[in-house]
Structure formats: C-alpha cells, structure tokens
Amino acid sequence: MQKVRIYFTKTGRAKYISHLDLMRTFMRAIKRSGVKIKYTEGFNPHPHMVFGNPLSLGYESIAEICEVKLIDDVALKDVKDAINAQMPEGIEIRDVLPIKKELKQIGYCRYRITIEDKNAFSDNDVKSIVGLFSGDKLEIVKKSKSSEKTMDILPLIAEFDCALQEDKLVITAAVSFNTNISLNPDHILKAIAEKTDILSDEYYATFLKVATLDYELNDFR
C-alpha cells in the first residue's frame, strides 16, 4: 500500500464546486478510473481521502492537494492518467507523487489577485497599495456573527507585490495558510477598500491560488 499525493487544479467554472462537492467528485472519478484506493473500516466504509485546507468557493487554484492510499502497485504516471481522464472540465491532475513533506508543514499559500474596476488604475495606485502593505501594521475589522474584532493582517502576509497589467491591478501575495491561522486573501482587498479610495463600489476581483508553500516559503511538494 502506498500513500500518494494528488496535485490538481480547480479552474474555470469548476471554481463554483464547493469543497464537499469536490470530495464527492473525486470519490466517483477515482472509482470510475479503476484505480483502487483504501476505504475506511467500520459500518459505513467510504474512500479514505485527505484534502488540504478547503479553497474558498469562487476561487481558482492550480495548487490543490488530495492524499489517498493506493492498494495496488501501479506506476504513478498510469494512476495520474487514469484519474485525470475521469475528471470533469476545470479539474486537472497535474501530478501523482509519493509524499515527502507532511501536510502539517504547509505554512503559506501564494495567491494572484486580479482586480478590474470602472476606472483605470495608475502607478500612484500601485505605490499607495505597496506602501499600505509595507508599514508597521495594517488593522482591519473582522466581523463574525457574534462579534467584531480588529486584526493586524501584516504578520500574516509573508510576501507582497503589486503591479499594473494593462488596465488591471495584479497583486501577488503569500498569506498564512495552516492549522494555526489562515488569512483569507479577500482581507487584502478589504484593507485596500477601507484604507484607500482606489477602489469604487463596483470593483471585480478574481483569486487564483498559484502555489502551496511551506513555512520557509518553498514550494510544498
């Protein structure tokens, strides 16, 4: 029995598939592929699959992870091809590899946030944003059902870059993403909206997770 990690993408319309839906999709795709994986024991056996932390609904990603235990001794490339052939559009298996780093070594996630708005952005806007994220602290109000808390999000951002791409703003940031604390990259946008007047009410942003990183900001593989 071999524990392997499946690296996959979730893009296009597949970004609207919820995490639970995704688990079901994988379960059935693997079943159709004929690749045999370990099931749980007990009264109600189901396939044993471990996913990385869930991606927010509506976000795309090229760096998603799922771990399974293969029962047969098969070439991992064949496993990748067989499962990939059963995936719906928008979910693509990039690799099936043996496990080196454990899931608990995941520390950060790198996101690319693309923003468009009714007015064009300027170099000054880029400067303001970079400035906002290179200060001592950056507090935002985090609202939950029961309370409101202020939170300094700067310590949770390990990398930050902002650039103009034609009429769009592109922010690349590595945010905390682990079992201790995770920062939803949406808060970056909220901070910009609250602390500057760069964004109008009608801005439109897309989120793409481009990499999963360990605590040293190296690629998590």
Which among 194, 191, 155, 150 has a CA at the least distance from the CA of 174? Answer: 155
How far apart are the C-alpha atoms of 142 and 148, rounded to whole Å?
A: 6
Size of the site for other proteins (CB under 8 A): 28
- Give the range of 3-11, 16-24, 93-101, 155-163 binding other proteins by CB under 8 A: 16-24
Per CB under 8 A, contacts with other proteins among 61-100 are 86, 88-90
Looking at beta carbons only, is 57 or 99 nearer to other proteins? 57
Looking at beta carbons only, is 83 or 191 nearer to other proteins? 83
Per CB under 8 A, contacts with other proteins among 19-58 are 20-21, 24-25, 27-32, 39, 43-46, 57-58
Looking at beta carbons only, is 174 or 205 nearer to other proteins? 205
Q: Binding string to other proteins for residues 182 to 221, with x set by CB under 8 A, is what?
A: ----------------------x-x---------------
Q: Binding string to other proteins for residues 114 to 133, with x set by CB under 8 A, is what?
A: --x-----------------
Q: Binding string to other proteins for residues 168 to 187, with x set by CB under 8 A, is what?
A: --------------------
**Between the CA atoms of 213, 214, 218 and 221, what dihedral angle is there, to the nearest 10 degrees?**
-80
Shortest gap between Cβ of 44 and other proteins (angstroms)?
A: 5
Looking at beta carbons only, is 43 or 216 nearer to other proteins? 43
Looking at beta carbons only, is 18 or 196 nearer to other proteins? 18
Based on its alpha-carbon atoms, the radius of gyration of the chain, rounded to whole angstroms, reads 20
One-letter-per-residue 3-state SS of the chain: CEEEEEEEEECHHHHHCCHHHHHHHHHHHHHHHCCCECECCCCCCCECEEECCCCCCCCEEEEEEEEEEECCCCCHHHHHHHHHHCCCCCEEEEEEEECCCCHHHEEEEEEEEEEECCCCCCHHHHHHHHHHCCCCCCEEEEECCCCEEEEECHHHEEEEEEEEECCEEEEEEEEEECCCCECCCHHHHHHHHHHCCCCCCCCEEEEEEEEEEECCCCECC
Shortest gap between Cβ of 164 and other proteins (angstroms)?
A: 18
Contact positions vs other proteins (CB under 8 A): 13, 16-18, 20-21, 24-25, 27-32, 39, 43-46, 57-58, 86, 88-90, 116, 204, 206
